Structure 1
Amino acid sequence: MKSYDHKAIERKWQGIWEQEGAFHASDDKSQPKFYALIEFPYPSGQGLHVGHPRPYTALDIVARKRRMQGYNVLFPIGWDAFGLPTENYAIKNKIHPKIVTENNIARFKAQLQSLGLSFDWSREINTTDPSYYKWTQWIFLKLFEKGLAYKKEMAINWCTSCKVGLANEEVVGGVCERCGGKVERRMKTQWMLKITEYAQRLIDDLDDLDYIERVKIQQKNWIGRSEGAEVDFTVGDKKLRIYTTRPDTLFGATYMVMSPEHPYLEDWKEQLENYDEVVAYREYANSKSDFERTELAKEKTGVELKGIRAINPVNGQSIPIWISDYVLMSYGTGAIMAVPAHDTRDWEFAKKFGLPIIEVVSGGEVEKEAFTDIANGVMVNSGFLDGMQVKEAKNAIIAYLEEKGLGERKVNYKLRDWVFSRQRYWGEPIPLVYCEHCGKWVPLPESELPLMLPEVDSYEPGPNGESPLASMEEWVNTTCPVCGGPAKRETDTMPQWAGSSWYFLRYMDPHNDECLASKENLEYWSPVDWYNGGMEHTTLHLLYSRFWHKFLYDIGVVSTPEPYQKRTSHGMILGENNEKMSKSRGNVVNPDDIVEEFGADTMRLYEMFIGDFEKAVPWSQNGVKGCRRFLERVWKLQDMVSEEDDYTKELEIAMHRTIKKVSQDDETLKFNTAIAALMALLNDFYSAGKVSRAELRDFLILLNPAAPHITEEMWENCGFEGRIYQQEWPRYDENKTIEDTIEIGVQINGKAKGTVKIAKNAAQEEAIAAAKADEKIGSFLQGKTVVKEIYVPGRIINLVVR
């Protein structure tokens, strides 16, 4: 037998699979379907790193297994190819982003194909293809038509490096998640998507989905539903409304805090004795991102509004008003009541500025270190609420406020509307024009879609952060589709998240020119059965795509209210030094090098065997070598094949147990233990010194999803019919996974002396006889008299001698 030549074998079978269209989804809708989805990659110039193949291989294993179980499998691939990194590279290197994208995709595609992933390449999509983004634009127009896309001036997170506005979700640790650049606040006119309209449904519908719990928790926390009340404090002739989740603590409100951007500040300009100080503080606050402003551990800062005070509506007390950067206009009403006795941040603020602290819920010392859970306390110093439990007091105070016209019950969400436009070039053009005559934004007719990106000489954003498209007068100046008068195109483009919010639908019918996908295909393939992606996208792409899908459901385009039935996540692969892989740390492992030296099957097998799929794990080159040795031992089974066309009696139980183990573990992301079971079975083959054709046949099928190339080659070499990917997944007999015999310990006078094998349901006489007949145990009994025989079924034999 020739040696295991991974290069020749992998080239051969990748060519055969492509030629045979082995993994193309069928148009036959009479079959049960299974839709497996990965987060399609962003094709960067750096190519794949070894972290990419981990989730791809995991879903590939599931997809290959499902095909053998009789499903029509859709396992597609495409490219999330718009976005800032490509544009920044194009600017730096004076290359058109389109060319950069094409080069990056070619490199990524070659790398993915070298891994033998069973993607349906006939359905490949690209978000920068006009035939694709035509439908991204179409969805935007439908959102606009339904009032869910609107434009407004607002303070946004501005990346000073990328020169682009960022959604809150794109600011991580106070910096741009893409480039790490400083983020500050700027006033910009932005297109917004009203995701808040769907906030409650995005929470409620999680209950019926098979998502891992930490994904559900992150989404619910990000949406941030809370119940409370809006309350009006009186300031001169104005009502200053606040939102609070604890209206029962109103009697403990000893001051108020407003956002430095609150519009009332301009109305009070003449009354404020320190207006210049207020303006200076507002400028200071605007230099910070929302994250920096709301960080709990930071030093508290603020300015008192001198010359005005507020009246607490429940006790008529006059209290001071402050502005502080930790209160945002984008959450609640932009103003809060402060109850320092029962809130850490309010307590710290009050202590710093010498403000009153009044306990209104009993249960602990009024000290920062001694704050207790006041949700179950008793009301004190609270007028008509005194003596009530908190829950009772909440309902009583809200009823009082509503009766007196001082406030109302309110549900609030932390979730903000999605900042959708970007002042950049490399994104989908927004298909709207502004007509002065009509006095509004006017959508392009659907017949004019796609609105193509024009060629530009420079991709640099303008000096004031406007899009490069803004300087293209010939493109900007157009006619209004409604009145025929002069109009100007929108020069902002869509964010990268636009194309990724619906890509899974296009895979269902990627070449359709009439609609984003046919009704028949959408109904057949929806929803995605199993979607795996990174935890970092839980409050970005995952939330956005659920929102878009629900909207498409509401307008009758799709047939299910949720896009993905199951969502799992994977841990990252770290460097051998247990740190995140990065060029600066010098610990990046290139998958091309692994495939070249050890083979794609070794790479795939190792990434599944490396550890718990859901946890971060360090790379180990020794582990890679171990997986290669395993495959070489598998290869040598070809010299050990016997002609028996059934399981041997010696290995029947091991075979059924392994089939059960691999079948179940592949469904629960326990790929490492599934592979360990196959390694144990291989050892059994070597111990037996042979492997029957039936045993080898099923072993190769079980191993195939993780190591497809070597198993197909051995299958062919051994003369089995067809291809492995066309075979039926092995079945196990539960009764044959249970040993007929058990090993049981034997004691003499309570001391362990050895073990014997007995029938699982052996009677006491059989068990004792087996113990006495054992050569080792018998040696301890020579010259002794057995005075007592004890047998605990399935556990122990004890012989008492003298």
Structure 2
Amino acid sequence: MAVYNFKEIEKKWQKIWEENKSFKTVENDKPKYYVLEMFPYPSGKIHMGHVRNYSIGDVVARFMKMRGYNVLHPMGWDAFGLPAENAAIKHGIHPDKWTRENIKEMKEQLKLLGLSYDWDREIATCLPDYYKWTQELFLKFYEKGLAYKKKSFVNWCTSCETVLANEQVVGGKCERCDSVVVKKDLEQWYLKITDYAERLLSDIDKLQGWPEKVKTMQKNWIGKSTGAEVDFEIEGFDKKLKIFTTRPDTIYGVTYMVLAPEHDYVDELVKGSEYEKSVKDFKEKMQLMSEIERTSTDTEKEGLFIGKYAINPLNGKKIPIYIANYVLVDYGTGAIMAVPAHDERDEEFAKKYDLEIVSVIDEDGNMVNSDEFNGLSHKEAFNKIVEKLESIGVGKKTVNYRLRDWLISRQRYWGCPIPIVYCDECGVVPVNREDLPVLLPTDVEFTGKGQSPLTTSKEFVNTSCPKCGKIAKREIDTMDTFIDSSWYFLRYIDAKNDKSPFDKDLVEKWMPVDQYIGGVEHAILHLLYSRFFVKVLKDLGMLDFDEPFNNLLTQGMVLKDGAKMSKSKGNVVSPLDIIEKYGVDTARLFVLFAAPPERDLDWSDQGVEGCFRFINRVYRLVDELKELVNVDASLKNLSKEDKKARLIIHSTLKKVTEDISGRFNFNTAISALMELVNEMYKYKEVESRNEAVLKEGLETIITILAPFTPHIAEELWSMIGKEGYVSEITWPNYDENALVKDEIEVVVQINGKVRGKLNLNANVTKEEMEKEALEDEKIKRLIEGKNIVKIIAVPKKLVNIVVK
């Protein structure tokens, strides 16, 4: 019996693919297909999530290549980021060395999976030949007025003396040292994504190939709301308090105002007053709370009167001003008008602090307690009140977005340097393009404390002004790594270009990405930022399309015992262990077969063993029948058994083609293939079998296997004496004639219960169906001695005999 030596087979074909550059994309006249999986962070070890994500993409890439497309399927590394810096602090290894070693290790592991990547297009965002162009794009944003600097609050670890990203704050404490994290006001760089809020929102409707849940998440994140901006005077203060409300119809029900504790006005309003100390204490308390905690419905509403009053612009009523935990400085204007009769948060707060509650809309939805607007429906009052606010110059109808500008500053070393210089004479000065890239220095110290490690490199910090040539200082913040991943899909198209980020004509040929694949955890930020970048680059004349990704597949996670794999749970399954024991093709087959791509997949050792047994069965079947390719047989004069076998062969080919190309139902495609293999095992035992049909069955099985389990497919193709590679053949069309049935199965019922089945000519008439049913020996026995009331015949499906 032939033995399936997966280690030898997989090593053999990976070597052949690499030597032949089998997956290198060259420019030609075939229709293009760009398939892309989200590139990984080079952590050093691949996990089952990687195996699943990249196997899904590889099936699509291989299948579309066999369908006659010129496929672009690249891979690279999202290589900047905090873990490398933490490794430098913990182990004393430079981030650059740590990252390059991890890339080398992960690349070797990905190659083990037999993925059809064009490695000639490989990129790493931490290399100067990539981040030079990231800096170039930043300068274009800056020149367009989309990059700016302002003060904002950041997470500050009091022990490490450094800024922390949100993901480093766990339960209000630093994940590294477990010390309390507070809010600190620092100058930060932003990108003005809010300028594109409406386009980002309205263009979601163009994304026909995206999951509805992802589109909804993006719409909610952008958060468009229509309402009014209203100016409230503050008694004894020369500045007006601007608020945004979606309910101007409730303005007569305002009984107090709330400012975020961090609002610019707060310190001015309490300076020198009896409230100054208590406000200071309250603000310090708020610094220890995260935004999520402050706005949670479970968090008790807390606040403090600051001794000042606002004036309602429509009725002149004095309204006390509070600061409270549930209002954030970065949302809206950082201030709200509180209407406790018609808002649950405001009501909870008002009852706690014994504040007035005034209803202005009755149970029928009509206005009350609202002067000349009484009796109007609240919908009518909305516009009437806005008109009045506009007429007296204290308000206007406006649109607001939940979306905030993108904070891109990171007080980190291992990120793309921001190409800005600060000069005492010239102020903020962009670096000249001929001086790009601004390189990361190597002479830095990693202590985990204080400012960015870049400050420890005097050679980096001290420079000359690009304008006047005098002594200047470099920007010591680096960019958010989301910047790197917001345009990488464009660089793949022209990865070796040393004159510009990419060639416009090439990008126009390949973009948008036809199929993008990645985790749903990136449904908002990464995808939103990529869409934003494309729109800006279009406005800059660098592109001529609006959206980066035509179709999006968000694959589910790989679970073990119903939980996400993690070291802490002790439920991690190593891909390398599975590959060592069963081979790559088995690992690929299991993650593709065990669940639909968009669903979570629960790991099963038995399932893996089952996939391994299946591949072995295919190997033995082909080995036994491999000499058939030399047999001179014909598909003419086929018997009933031959036609049945061909029906199964071509119906399987039809189903697999449709399942892969339209729906990515890989699990059902593989299931159909397994059934075909079973049928071929049965058919080969038929005494009068047709060798041409068996040959057709074998070739179809191998062809279908090719995108899913490429190594064994190539080996089997070679075993049956075929020249070239199965991965390079044209995907076959199913034979419509083979799908036409000569016979059909008709169900026979007696009083609605199934009592038998008949195999009849496919063109049988209703009358013939009834006759055959009544003449069937089993049916005759069951109705003997009974009266036939009526016979109901459904053409080509069933006969129901009603008896008494």
Q: State TM-score, norm by structure 2.
A: 0.93
Structure 2 portions without partners, runs of 5+: 686-692
Please provide the CA RMSD for this pair: 2.4
Asked whether 1:500 is paired with 2:485, we answer yes
3-state DSSP class of the match of 2:232? strand
Q: Which residue does the alignment assign to 1:15?
A: 15
C-alpha distance in 1 between matches for 2:260 and 2:722 = 74
Check 1:178–1:765 CA distance in 2 against 1; reply closer, same or farther (3 A cut): farther
Asked whether 1:419 is paired with 2:419, we answer no
3-state DSSP class of the match of 1:189? strand
Q: Which residue does the alignment assign to 1:313?
A: 313
Asked whether 1:582 is paired with 2:566, we answer yes
Q: Displacement, 1:91?
A: 1.2
Moved more, 160-169 or 68-77: 160-169
Does the CA contact (< 8 Å) of 1:166 and 1:419 recur in 2?
Answer: no
Asked whether 1:407 is paired with 2:395, we answer yes
Structure 1 portions without partners, runs of 5+: 365-376
C-alpha distance in 2 between matches for 1:176 and 1:500 = 26
Check 1:160–1:494 CA distance in 2 against 1; reply closer, same or farther (3 A cut): farther
3-state DSSP class of the match of 2:49? coil
Q: Which residue does the alignment assign to 1:534?
A: 519
Q: Which residue does the alignment assign to 1:294?
A: 295
Q: Which residue does the alignment assign to 1:482?
A: 467
Moved more, 771-780 or 162-171: 162-171
Q: Which residue does the alignment assign to 2:31?
A: 32
Asked whether 1:100 is paired with 2:98, we answer yes
Q: Which residue does the alignment assign to 1:189?
A: 187
Check 1:674–1:182 CA distance in 2 against 1; reply closer, same or farther (3 A cut): farther
Alignment of 1:399-798 (within 5 A): 399-438=387-426, 440-463=427-450, 466-575=451-560, 577-638=561-622, 639-640=624-625, 642=628, 643=631, 644=633, 646=635, 648-666=642-660, 667-689=662-684, 692-733=694-735, 736-737=738-739, 739-748=741-750, 751-780=753-782, 789-798=791-800
Q: Displacement, 1:305?
A: 1.4
Q: Which residue does the alignment assign to 1:370?
A: none
C-alpha distance in 1 between matches for 2:497 and 2:504 = 11
Does the CA contact (< 8 Å) of 1:435 and 1:442 recur in 2?
Answer: yes
Moved more, 57-66 or 638-647: 638-647
Give the letter for the 1:447 counterpart.
E
Aligned length: 783
Give the letter for the 1:24 counterpart.
K
Give the letter for the 1:312 counterpart.
N
Q: Which residue does the alignment assign to 1:398?
A: 386
Give the letter for the 1:305 counterpart.
I
3-state DSSP class of the match of 1:52? helix
C-alpha distance in 2 between matches for 1:792 and 1:70 = 43
Check 1:262–1:762 CA distance in 2 against 1; reply closer, same or farther (3 A cut): same
Alignment of 1:258-337 (within 5 A): 258-270=259-271, 272-306=273-307, 308-337=308-337
Does the CA contact (< 8 Å) of 2:75 and 2:119 recur in 1?
Answer: yes
C-alpha distance in 2 between matches for 1:302 and 1:801 = 81
C-alpha distance in 2 between matches for 1:246 and 1:168 = 32
Moved more, 125-134 or 468-477: 468-477
Check 1:574–1:176 CA distance in 2 against 1; reply closer, same or farther (3 A cut): farther
3-state DSSP class of the match of 1:460? coil
Check 1:271–1:517 CA distance in 2 against 1; reply closer, same or farther (3 A cut): same
Q: Which residue does the alignment assign to 1:373?
A: none
Check 1:88–1:406 CA distance in 2 against 1; reply closer, same or farther (3 A cut): same
- Percent identity reads 51
Deviations 1:147-204 (A, max 9, x none): 2111122112446798664677997987889999975321111111111111111111
Q: Displacement, 1:567?
A: 1.5
Q: Displacement, 1:660?
A: 2.2
Give the letter for the 2:608 counterpart.
V
3-state DSSP class of the match of 1:694? helix
Does the CA contact (< 8 Å) of 1:526 and 1:559 recur in 2?
Answer: no
Deviations 1:296-330 (A, max 9, x none): 22011110112x21111222221211101221121
Check 1:165–1:781 CA distance in 2 against 1; reply closer, same or farther (3 A cut): same
Check 1:645–1:212 CA distance in 2 against 1; reply closer, same or farther (3 A cut): farther
Q: Which of 186, 200, 204 lines up with 1:202 in the alignment?
A: 200
Give the letter for the 1:747 counterpart.
Q
C-alpha distance in 2 between matches for 1:422 and 1:158 = 12
Q: Which of 134, 139, 142 lines up with 2:140 in the alignment?
A: 142
C-alpha distance in 1 between matches for 2:577 and 2:73 = 26
Does the CA contact (< 8 Å) of 2:595 and 2:667 recur in 1?
Answer: yes
C-alpha distance in 2 between matches for 1:434 and 1:337 = 41
Does the CA contact (< 8 Å) of 1:169 and 1:539 recur in 2?
Answer: no
C-alpha distance in 2 between matches for 1:170 and 1:546 = 27
3-state DSSP class of the match of 2:220? helix
Does the CA contact (< 8 Å) of 1:432 and 1:490 recur in 2?
Answer: yes
Check 1:348–1:740 CA distance in 2 against 1; reply closer, same or farther (3 A cut): farther
Deviations 1:635-683 (A, max 9, x none): 1221146544659412222223222221222231321111111111112
Alignment of 1:112-131 (within 5 A): 112-131=110-129
Give the letter for the 2:615 counterpart.
L
Deviations 1:94-149 (A, max 9, x none): 01111111111112111111111111111111111111111011111111111211
Check 1:247–1:180 CA distance in 2 against 1; reply closer, same or farther (3 A cut): farther
Does the CA contact (< 8 Å) of 1:379 and 1:389 recur in 2?
Answer: yes
